[in-house]
Structure 1
Amino acid sequence: MVRIILNADDIGYSEAVTLGIIKSYRDGVIRSTTMMTNMPSAPLAAKLLKENPGLYCGQHSNIVIGTPVSDPKEIPSLVDEYGHFNVKQRLKQGLKLDVEDIKKEVRAQAERFKELMGYYPTHIEGHAVFDPGLAVAIREVAVELHVHYTDNIHYIENGEMVQLRDTHDSGWEVPVMPKVGYYQDKVSLDYWLDDQADLLSEDLVEIHSHPGYIDQELLDWSSYNITRAKEVQIACDPALKKWAEDNDVHFISFNDIKKK
């Protein structure tokens, strides 16, 4: 048996992304998603998640897109003069992010999650920032809340990509990451049917995917857009479901890997 957490990142990013993720759950193999609680469509995401309780949701900590949940004045290293996140621009300029600022925002997003869902997230991860400070902040907030966190973070150091793999004993099993990521030109039905990432040799794998429909908000904010619709189609394809059945592959959520 192979267990795969095919997590749908970014629910709440926009209305269309949110609807695409719900489609990928209702008609497809997605069983796990993570919410960007600071985004305008987060309330819609919470509403739809409550209507679809079989879809697990954790926190997708976002310090890149939009405005923070925290008071921008309290996290000056993450925002511009208008109170919008400008982390990517700062990192390109070689500027450091304040870990305490990140931690404050990750914690605030957890509080927003509780406001929306009625409980704290039981899994916390980060969104699209190559900075070790985010990994530190997520770990500290997750430990504080006694919840799971993704312990596989990538960041840039001296121009090279570094993979940070925490070996914490959190009470959850620790998945491996796929040998071939499911992103951009690797998104295809053949990725699964031809087992391009050698998934069938593993026991427990964590794969981050980005299914979603497309609206103007997404086009304005993200360069990863058109492929999201393709991910919805693949997640719902009967051929993928048959591949899973034939190979004893079970799509699960982070909630399923908590040790008994």
Structure 2
Amino acid sequence: MKVLFNADDFGLTKGITDGIIKSHLHGVVQSTTMMMNGRAVDYAVQQAKKLPNLNVGVHLVLTWGKPISNSVSGLLDRDGYFKYTNTFREMEPPDPDDVEKEWRAQIEAFLQKGLPLHHIDSHHHIHGWEPLNETVRKLATEYGVPVRRVDSLQSHPGILLTDKLWLDFYGDGVGENVFDELKKIDAPSVEVMTHPAFVDKELKAVSSYAEKRQEELNILCRLKVPDWVELADSE
């Protein structure tokens, strides 16, 4: 089985970025995805350029912070922040043209930093929202990169990063039995979503998921890879 440990939220804060870097250098994390409207993007880019074996993609955002592009007022609240939240499925879908404009701007902003684009996923898995599926497929095809697997895109396996996505390494599911659980999955390839970080005031100010990130970091740096696992993208 090929297993890809991906760390979300690269560039959101310095503590998150440093946690991801440690989990790569001293743990099992092989890739990460960057929030281009995060608070530590420039720092994350500088660090990523020192780490040629860390694959970096874009963590498309529609549910946190402010946009990269202009003239997407339909996506925003009156204060200029994205109006969508992690309960977006209960909200009226956005104009796909506005979403494409903003997500294209986020991808282009990433590419302008001089990093190769590894893959695409999204904050709160909003790229799996059915009204945005066509937009996601269009961007993945145009930029020639795979997308994190979500159920709504399973009929398009050619653009998916892995055959399965394992979300249980999160919250109460964080533990050292990762490989025991993965062994139960019947699939050639699996992505494990992770959120390692050093917890600081800045992290607590931007995310309700804070203390568990330090626990994730500690475990990701202790895991021993069994011989039946091939870490994806490893040499």
Q: TM-score, normalised by structure 2?
A: 0.89
Deviation of 1:83 after TM superposition, in Å, equals 1.4
The answer on whether the counterparts of 2:165 and 2:193 sit within 8 Å (CA) in structure 1 is no
The 5 Å alignment of 1:44-83 reads 44-71=43-70, 74-83=71-80
2:204 alignment counterpart:
219
Deviation of 1:31 after TM superposition, in Å, equals 0.7
Report the RMSD for the aligned CA atoms in angstroms. 2.4
1:13 alignment counterpart:
12
Deviations 1:60-106 (A, max 9, x none): 101111111111xx212211122111212884763221111111111
1:232 is aligned, of 202, 217, 227, to 217
Unaligned runs of 5+ in 2: none
Deviations 1:166-213 (A, max 9, x none): 3335377742233x6221111111333xx1343575421112111111
Residue 168 (str. 1) matches residue 156 (str. 2): yes
CA–CA separation in structure 2 for the residues paired with 1:90 and 1:206: 23
- Identity across the alignment (%): 30
Give SS of 2:169's match: coil
Structure 1 residues 25 and 175: alpha-carbon distance in aligned structure 2, compared to 1, 3 A threshold: same
Deviates more, 1:16-25 or 1:200-209: 200-209
How many pairs does the alignment contain? 233
CA–CA separation in structure 1 for the residues paired with 2:155 and 2:87: 30
CA–CA separation in structure 2 for the residues paired with 1:146 and 1:188: 35
More strand by share: 1
Structure 1 residues 9 and 171: alpha-carbon distance in aligned structure 2, compared to 1, 3 A threshold: closer
The answer on whether the counterparts of 1:28 and 1:235 sit within 8 Å (CA) in structure 2 is yes
Residue 250 (str. 1) matches residue 222 (str. 2): no
CA–CA separation in structure 1 for the residues paired with 2:81 and 2:56: 25
The 5 Å alignment of 1:152-191 reads 152=150, 163-168=151-156, 170=158, 174-178=162-166, 181-191=168-178
Structure 1 residues 59 and 96: alpha-carbon distance in aligned structure 2, compared to 1, 3 A threshold: same
Unaligned runs of 5+ in 1: 153-162
CA–CA separation in structure 1 for the residues paired with 2:199 and 2:161: 34
Structure 1 residues 17 and 199: alpha-carbon distance in aligned structure 2, compared to 1, 3 A threshold: farther
AA matched with 2:204:
L
CA–CA separation in structure 2 for the residues paired with 1:89 and 1:114: 27
CA–CA separation in structure 2 for the residues paired with 1:222 and 1:44: 19
Deviations 1:15-44 (A, max 9, x none): 100000000001111111111112121111
CA–CA separation in structure 2 for the residues paired with 1:90 and 1:164: 17
Give SS of 2:197's match: coil
1:87 is aligned, of 75, 84, 88, to 84
Provide runs of 4+ in structure 1 moved above 6 Å: none
AA matched with 1:52:
L
AA matched with 1:220:
A
Give SS of 1:40's match: coil
AA matched with 1:227:
K
2:148 is aligned, of 142, 147, 150, to 150
Give SS of 1:148's match: coil
Deviations 1:125-175 (A, max 9, x none): 1110373234432221111222212231xxxxxxxxxx3133335377742
CA–CA separation in structure 2 for the residues paired with 1:106 and 1:171: 17
